[in-house]
Structure 1
Amino acid sequence: AGIDPRTGDRFVNQLFLGCTSGAGTPHEDCWLTYLSAGNGGMCFIDSVELDELYQPLIVHERRIVPDSEGAGRHVGAPSLRVEFGPVGCDVEVSYVSDGRANPPRGVRGGMTGGGADQFLRRLDGSLEQLDAATTVNVRDGERVISICTGGGGYGSPLERDPDRVRQDILDAWISA
């Protein structure tokens, strides 16, 4: 929320730049944008270009975090990292986040998915870790960094199909 310097109008919006969190299942890998059983994969992620068009903000980065999936015979979703900030104005950003203290656990030998975290990149480039749920004032030129949780894996990673491991490496979801 803030005042758009292009128009002088107040703006408020609920940005949804990304969240993964899907868990591996007994039969298949996660669905990257599944999020939770509560929304059943019906999570729509904002277009970066439209968010930048309609609000005075810029998205500097939106990417998968390598090695953040819950490894397993069937893997959980990798974490997603988003970095954005206001352009030409200050804004107030409010959010809630799960999974910092208790990241998603794997089951039946599956590994834990990556944990969530949030930071404020100050004007001098330093990073300030933010609370898991807060409202923060972000000045022009500062950036919010949000990392969502990955998903827990299902089954032992040693049971994963080698062709899928190879594809995960080629897709840069995991490192070799």
Structure 2
Amino acid sequence: MNDKKIFDLANSKFLSKELSLIESDVSERCICASLKGYLEKEIEKYSKYKKYHVDVEYNRNAGHVKTIINSDFKVIQVTCDLIIHSRGEDEKNDNLIALEMKKSYQSEEKKNADRERLIALTRSEKNNDVWSFDGKTFPRYVCGYKLGIYYEIDLPNRIILIEYYRGGNLVGKDIKRLKN
């Protein structure tokens, strides 16, 4: 089972059981907190992922506020809406999934800032001079997430747009239709 399949299974269950929560137009934080439970149940099923934690708005990296370097080489503090990571327990494979959630009525500027963050978060520290990683100390800037997910809720059109990022690139899109 890979990271995307785990997310897709958890998201499918979440959408089928928590539709009324989404339809009530609660905050992204509330929706992410609910999705967290479904992700935890899925990762618990696979020994490969049992060491991972699902956290909402987690903003620490080895005791420091998480930062990334964007495409303009600006250092930006980052707090993802939801992440799956080992909380530093597995230094070589700490970061599994980073998810950014937006409502469709948010500005394109905010949506694109989330996408830019996912691009930076999913870049590999080993393929870029900006990040140092020796397997013992954490990189100064957070990166190396295996999968980035942009999750946009469009209530008026009753769809969820999902974009998948790997290695700093958009690698796929999916649209989930909300049931009536």
Same fold per superposition (TM over 0.5): no
TM-score of the aligned structures, taking structure 1 as reference length: 0.30
Structure label with greater radius of gyration: 1
